[in-house]
Amino acid sequence: MTTPPPTAADPAAAPPRWAVHAAHVAAVTALPAGLWRLGLVTGWHGGYTDAGYHAVGFTGWDAVWPVTLSVLTEALALLTLGLVRPWGTVPPRWIPFLGGRPVNPRAVVIAASLGAAGLVLLWTPFLAWWATPHPNMTPLGHLLVGFLYLPAVAWGPLLAAVTVSYHRRHRTADARS
User: Given phi > 0 = left and psi -120 to 50 = alpha, else beta, which region is 132?
Assistant: beta
Greater confidence (59 vs 139) lies with 139
Tell me the pTM: 0.86
DSSP track, 59-97: SGGGGHHHHHHHHHHHHHHHGGGGGTSGGGTS--TTSTT
Supply angle C-alpha 110, 112, 115, rounded to 5.
110
**Residue-range domain boundaries for the chain:** 17-176
Q: What is the pLDDT of residues 35-85, one digit of tens each?
A: 999 999 999 999 999 999 988 887 788 889 999 999 999 999 999 999 999
What CA–CA distance (Å, rounded) separates 22 from 165?
10
Positive or negative: CA dihedral 26, 32, 33, 37? positive
Query: Does residue 7 have a pLDDT over 50?
Result: no
146, 130 in Cβ contact below 8 A? yes
